[in-house]
Structure 1
């Protein structure tokens, strides 16, 4: 039953209801054969039989993604795809399209349908018209920070190094929207079986593909739109949080792109959360960099967030207290009063007006606010090294002190004044760190066009080229997949 669900589309099922044309085909064949000498009947029969078997083979092979007449890949120039090319699986719709379209049921509290607007970029952020340069307003959208699976899939379909021929591929992309699949089951009285349903179906499907069997998935990749911990429930952990996708044999050798990685897992690569700025061109990038560089910042630092009274010894509460006590130096945006997730102009205004921004850990060790902060040219202040330094190596400078400040959380708990620490930095040091932040902006934003930017590598291209280099390195080293 499962195999029939995965292999048959709605159109296939509809076609089963249509009358058979076998009788008509038989009459046509007899008419043709009657006009051909007997000596050639056998040869013609063999040719027809071969063609029938060829068509049946193609139709029954779900891993083959045949290009439609409308499907065209972008032109690429010699040398652009030296690290290899990527084949994108055409999954049954229940693994992506149906999940995205079922947007009213993806979140137990409110609809996610707005996130699907503008090819997954979300609603246009017209409210920013009084905050950002007027001609850049069309490049801003209220993008859902957990919508990376949709964005990466859309970009991958138009990627310059995509191939429609799997035998020519260096890597294989699995466009499974697992973050959307599990999101609705994370809260409420759901069982582990409920949370694993889509993951188990996908695991069975991908293990049947000949290209997966060839390498046991060691040349495959997938994008996880949520924190890695949402996909790491132990298989025998019953009804605990998340799905157990990453503990399934099908994923054992697959490289995972995710917004927060497990730093002890060498197959995981942390990629930036989608921000709300999606440049349309190289000139958009340059103009935004000039704009943030020229800002007159009136506050020493900003804190976007609130305290969590339900958490004992809440660290965010300590930051909030320091910010409120230093109101002349610190600007606070209270996310308990403003909808910080769905977008508010107050966040960008605060970061544009501040030299530094406080970045405690979020639901995990990371948070999108890190990239919102740096996008505005504000210098991040970290309290956990795992918030950025051990996560986003391809997207931020290698020298942490060149673009950020680190204050250990224990020092803050013991009474260290954040204001006094930040005031020790000279004007020249602040300008130098800000310039480094501004330099790296292209690496952590996602372009508006699915074809990317002309001369600038954004977060998507930086991530995919990095993964292709990893695959190439694995092949050169003769990496052998882990097999049960």
Structure 2
């Protein structure tokens, strides 16, 4: 005989129904009426009080037997079935909030922007009339580096996007980056809190103004660069790191800063003592120098919002492209075996399959409506090397939604790994030697790709457009969409962070 207890069993509390159910809240049924529950409990208590003790003990034994039977049945259910049952009936897992799912905006560190003496940036820009021996560059470098509005594109592009297009100079990256960097969300005015240090020196303007001057000397081309290094070497962050956590934007190709012998082309900025540790972002890099990083040439499209980028992507994807391929450029008659002339000849022989624009005489300067219209109407665009291995034209072509056709691997594949994926899913590569020998024809290769494959390649190009343009808004495009500036700064910060982790250095630069 089990001992008798006047208090109810713990299991009985689990089996009781709540006094108020959802149906009771909605009016209820007689079975769920609170008064009915009270009456039932009273009747049960009355029944227990009037039963003989042996009967009450029997009731307790029956209750225990039922509990044992339920427990045995639950244990006999196969594990997977029970697990599946629990999964089907578990409460839904709440979606993670944006605060927990999105990475911290400055997780890789903060950036300190040096306040340089005006002679290294503002004064150079103010002297825009003297930056070129043939004409003033003031208009070209206006609007924070974007240049004048591209009013000639009216009727070529959607009118709603016309305010986002400018006649942008291909060498304006220094000005564009400086304007965005001073407003960057990860900027700090405390050098001891910085993980990276940006040097806003307009080295391209400083060197460029002497490149074509008939009386310039090597000393003229190097003077501003040498003075800049003398100034920055006196700064505490530089003395501590010898410049490894510093970066600079140079708006010209790397070869304009790599004069190795007296009397050769360009300046020698990148060979000066102290520059060996600095990360340099340039529109064309030296593939054998890991401190050089290639960034996209500035194009004319400077959207203000992510919505404008998506509108442009829809426009170029829906464009009817009447020409199989196109070429914008000029023959180089003075060059032996001029490859550009060879491509222009291929284009003429292709008839209606190819369109071209002859850019001799500066006709294509800063991308006129004629060249943008050419790329908008073409499925592919031919991109031989320019004066160097890269061309601004490749980025104009891609922003227009055309697939670039490359003939030198150094034109893109080893230039822009932060911005363009590996492989050739977004481009076509044809070995120039096979074209020269007549082993292949450009038209034959492109026709062999097929409509479906060409469509997939074009979609990939259009997907890349945000990473190839520089936004007009100081805060970027928004909605999590990164432009070329965002990608560049993020990767610089990550590069410095990874180096600190490898070397075990402190996260803070000073103190």
Give me the TM-score of the superposition, normalised by structure 1.
Answer: 0.81
Q: Name the SS for the 1:113 alignment partner.
A: coil
Shift of 1:339: 2.3
Of residues 441, 448, 468, the one that matches 1:444 is: 468
**Is the Cα–Cα contact under 8 Å of residues 351 and 357 in structure 1 kept in the other structure?**
yes
1:174 aligns with 199
Shift of 1:337: 5.2
Deviations 1:228-278 (A, max 9, x none): 0000112xx222211111111121100000000001111111000001000
Where in structure 2 are the equivalents of 1:315-330 lying within 5 Å? 315-330=339-354
- Between the aligned partners of 1:78 and 1:469, the Cα distance in structure 2 is 13
Larger radius of gyration between Structure 1 and Structure 2: 2
2:98 aligns with none
2:145 aligns with 120
Of residues 423, 428, 434, the one that matches 1:399 is: 423
Of residues 260, 264, 269, the one that matches 1:240 is: 264
Where in structure 2 are the equivalents of 1:44-83 lying within 5 Å? 79-83=104-108
1:191 aligns with 217
- Between the aligned partners of 1:202 and 1:299, the Cα distance in structure 2 is 49
Of residues 307, 315, 322, the one that matches 1:298 is: 322
1:225 is aligned to 2:251: yes
Structure 1 unmatched ranges of 5 or more: 1-76
Of residues 459, 472, 482, the one that matches 2:497 is: 472
1:34 aligns with none
Deviations 1:289-348 (A, max 9, x none): 000000011100000001000111111111111112223111101101562123310111
1:144 is aligned to 2:172: no
Cα 1:367/1:457, change in 2 over 3 Å: same
Shift of 1:115: 2.1
1:286 aligns with 310
1:387 aligns with 411
- Between the aligned partners of 2:464 and 2:327, the Cα distance in structure 1 is 22
2:28 aligns with none
Where in structure 2 are the equivalents of 1:14-93 lying within 5 Å? 79-93=104-118
Q: Name the SS for the 2:304 alignment partner.
A: coil
1:412 aligns with 435
**Is the Cα–Cα contact under 8 Å of residues 379 and 404 in structure 1 kept in the other structure?**
yes
Deviations 1:333-369 (A, max 9, x none): 1101562123310111110101000000111110111
Stretch of structure 1 that moved more, 182-191 or 288-297: 182-191
**Is the Cα–Cα contact under 8 Å of residues 195 and 243 in structure 1 kept in the other structure?**
yes
**Is the Cα–Cα contact under 8 Å of residues 190 and 239 in structure 1 kept in the other structure?**
no
Of residues 360, 363, 366, the one that matches 1:339 is: 363
Deviations 1:446-475 (A, max 9, x none): 001122111210000001101111001111
1:46 aligns with none
Aligned length: 401
**Is the Cα–Cα contact under 8 Å of residues 141 and 169 in structure 2 kept in the other structure?**
no
Of residues 194, 200, 214, the one that matches 2:226 is: 200
2:71 aligns with none
**Is the Cα–Cα contact under 8 Å of residues 302 and 354 in structure 1 kept in the other structure?**
yes
- Between the aligned partners of 2:491 and 2:177, the Cα distance in structure 1 is 15
Shift of 1:117: 1.9
Q: Name the SS for the 1:340 alignment partner.
A: coil
Cα 1:429/1:83, change in 2 over 3 Å: same
**Is the Cα–Cα contact under 8 Å of residues 302 and 330 in structure 1 kept in the other structure?**
yes
Shift of 1:78: 7.5
1:5 aligns with none
2:12 aligns with none
Stretch of structure 1 that moved more, 389-398 or 84-93: 389-398
Superposition RMSD in Å: 1.3
- Between the aligned partners of 1:220 and 1:337, the Cα distance in structure 2 is 40
Q: Name the SS for the 1:440 alignment partner.
A: helix
**Is the Cα–Cα contact under 8 Å of residues 292 and 376 in structure 1 kept in the other structure?**
yes
1:18 aligns with none
- Between the aligned partners of 2:307 and 2:393, the Cα distance in structure 1 is 25
**Is the Cα–Cα contact under 8 Å of residues 88 and 174 in structure 1 kept in the other structure?**
yes
- Between the aligned partners of 2:129 and 2:112, the Cα distance in structure 1 is 31
Of residues 130, 134, 145, the one that matches 1:105 is: 130
- Between the aligned partners of 1:387 and 1:317, the Cα distance in structure 2 is 18
Shift of 1:162: 0.7
Q: Name the SS for the 2:248 alignment partner.
A: strand
